[in-house]
Amino acid sequence: MSPEIRNRILDAAARVYAQYGFRGATTRLIAMEAGVNEVTLFRTFGSKAQLLQAMMQSQVAATAAPILSDDVGDPERELTEWCGQLLEYLRGHAHLIRKTISEAEERPDAACAACEGPNTAGASLALYVERLRDEGLADPDVDIQTAISMFISALFGDALYRDVMPNSFPQPAKSAPSKYVQTFLRAVGLRASSLPVRSRPARVAGTRRRSR
């Protein structure tokens, strides 16, 4: 019943699960990590499956994926900030997401829950870019859906795989958001209102370091 112990168990379960997956997250390991007797797990959550399900819910409830504002101001600045926040969110949950998705066939509901955050983030981006195009800032002839899909995949890949295959991510993690956004805007055919996009030197990234 004690909420303090309950949360300690949930946090420990999240750590152990993120490292070892469902099968590897034994009740003994979780209890040790939480500094709690193993029996307490079963008295509090009933079973290992229920415990990990509760852990999953608490994880998705704890932090929310970032949402882009409704009205478009400076696209590059707004997108870069959103992109940095989303990357931070994804990196914080990288191991958990990786494990959950790789076990999607055995536990599809858990995978569904883990994808909720990224999905809403992607939908938010789609809405924003639609506005961009409505306001004549993006090339209307361009395949925007594909650009969005590739953008989201790039953020996913960066957050989930940068540590495993660093060769594929040459730019440092800090400057990645602005570079991703610039490339994305170029692909979307941003019609610069103030600045020309295609012939701008890459120096811009440095002047906007204060986004975190």
Residues at the interface with DNA (CB under 7 A): 1-2, 5, 25-29, 35-40, 42-44, 47-49
Verify binding: residue 138, a second copy, rule CB under 8 A.
no
Assign 3-class secondary structure to 62-86.
HCCCCCCCCCCCCHHHHHHHHHHHH
Token pair of 206, please? 């440095």
**Smallest gap, in angstroms, from Cβ of residue 3 to a second copy?**
31
* Distance separating alpha carbons of residues 202 and 208, to the nearest angstrom: 12
Question: Which range of residues in 3-11, 54-62, 70-78, 164-172 is near a second copy by CB under 8 A?
Answer: 164-172
Match 């997401």 to its residue by tokens: 97
Binders of a second copy among residues 15 to 34 (CB under 8 A) are 19-21, 23-24
Using alpha carbons, select from 172, 171, 198, 173 the residue that is nearest to residue 185: 198
Cβ-Cβ contacts under 8 Å for 1 (sequence gap 6 or more): none
Interface positions with a second copy (CB under 8 A):
19-21, 23-24, 98-99, 101-106, 111, 115, 118-119, 122, 139, 141-143, 145-147, 149-154, 156-158, 161, 164-165, 167-171, 179-180, 182-184, 186-187, 189, 198-202
